[in-house]
Structure 1
Amino acid sequence: MKKIFFCLIFPLAIVAQAVAQPAMTKTARGAQYAILKPGNGEKIKIGDVITFQMTQKTDKDSVLGSTYQMGQPAMAQVQPSKNVGDLMDVFSILSVNDSVLIKVPTDSIFAGHDDRRPPFFPKGSFINFLVKIQKTQSLESAMAERNAKMEKERAEKAAMATQLKAAEAATMAKYIADKKLNPQTTPSGLKYVITQASAGKKPKAGDTLLVNYAGRTPDGKLFDSSIAEVAQAAGLQQPGRNYEPFKFVVGNGEVIPGWDEGFLLLNEGSKATLIIPSALGYGERGAGEDIKPYSPLLFDVELIKVIPGKPKPVVKAAPKGKRPVAKKAAAKRTAAKKKVTKQ
Structure 2
Amino acid sequence: MKLKNIIAVLLLVASVQAFGQSNAGMQRMTNGVLYRIYTKNDNPKIKLNDVITFNFVQKTDKDSVLFSSFEAGRPAQIQVQESKNIADLMTVFPLLAATDSALIKVPTDSLFKGAEDQRPPFFPKGSYLSFVLKIEKVQSLEEAMAEQQKVMNEMKSQEAAALAKYAAGSSTKFTATNSGLRYAIARPSVKAKPMKGDTVLVNYIGRTLNGKLFDTSIEAEAKKAGLEQPGRNYEPISVVVGQGQVIPGWDEGLLLFNEGAKGSLLIPSDLAYGARGAGEDIAPFSPLLFDVEIVKVKRVKRAATPAKPATTVKKPVSKTPVKKPASTTVKKPTSTTKAPVKK
- TM-score (structure 1 length as normaliser): 0.53
Change over 3 Å in CA distance of 1:94–1:252 after alignment to 2? closer
> Which amino acid in the other structure matches residue 59 of structure 1?
D
Alignment partners' CA distance in 2, 1:81 and 1:309: 52
Unaligned runs of 5+ in 1: 1-12, 174-187, 195-201, 207-214, 216-222, 226-230, 267-273, 300-307, 321-343
Alignment partners' CA distance in 2, 1:95 and 1:57: 22
Per-residue Cα deviation, 1:46-73 (whole angstroms, up to 9, x for no partner):
2222211111110111100001011111
Change over 3 Å in CA distance of 1:262–1:117 after alignment to 2? closer
> Which amino acid in the other structure matches residue 278 of structure 1?
L
Deviation at 1:295, TM superposition (A): 5.9
Give 1 or 2 for the bigger CA radius of gyration.
Answer: 2
SS where residue 127 of structure 1 aligns? strand
- Residue equivalent to 1:316: 307
> Which amino acid in the other structure matches residue 54 of structure 1?
F
- Residue equivalent to 2:278: none
> Does residue 265 of structure 2 align to residue 278 of structure 1?
yes
- Residue equivalent to 2:111: 109
What fraction of aligned residue pairs are identical, expressed as a percent? 34
- Residue equivalent to 1:143: 145
Deviation at 1:128, TM superposition (A): 0.7
Contact 1:29–1:83 (Cα < 8 Å) also in 2: no
Q: Map of 1:247-262 to 2, 5 A cutoff? A: none
Alignment partners' CA distance in 1, 2:82 and 2:251: 53
How many residue pairs were aligned? Answer: 247
Q: RMSD of the TM alignment (CA)?
A: 5.4
Change over 3 Å in CA distance of 1:145–1:318 after alignment to 2? same
Deviation at 1:95, TM superposition (A): 2.0
Alignment partners' CA distance in 2, 1:315 and 1:101: 75
Q: Map of 1:1-343 to 2, 5 A cutoff? A: 17=14, 18-19=17-18, 20=20, 21=22, 23-36=25-38, 38-47=39-48, 48-168=50-170, 171-172=171-172, 203-204=191-192, 276=263, 278-279=265-266, 313=304, 315-317=306-308
Unaligned runs of 5+ in 2: 1-8, 174-181, 195-204, 206-215, 226-232, 244-249, 274-280, 282-286, 294-298, 312-343
Change over 3 Å in CA distance of 1:151–1:311 after alignment to 2? closer
Contact 2:217–2:234 (Cα < 8 Å) also in 1: no
Contact 1:16–1:62 (Cα < 8 Å) also in 2: no
Identify the range of structure 1 (124-133 vs 311-320) with the bigger mean alpha-carbon deviation: 311-320
Contact 1:190–1:258 (Cα < 8 Å) also in 2: no
> Which amino acid in the other structure matches residue 307 of structure 2?
K
Contact 1:276–1:297 (Cα < 8 Å) also in 2: yes
Contact 1:190–1:277 (Cα < 8 Å) also in 2: yes
Contact 1:39–1:98 (Cα < 8 Å) also in 2: yes
Change over 3 Å in CA distance of 1:116–1:16 after alignment to 2? farther
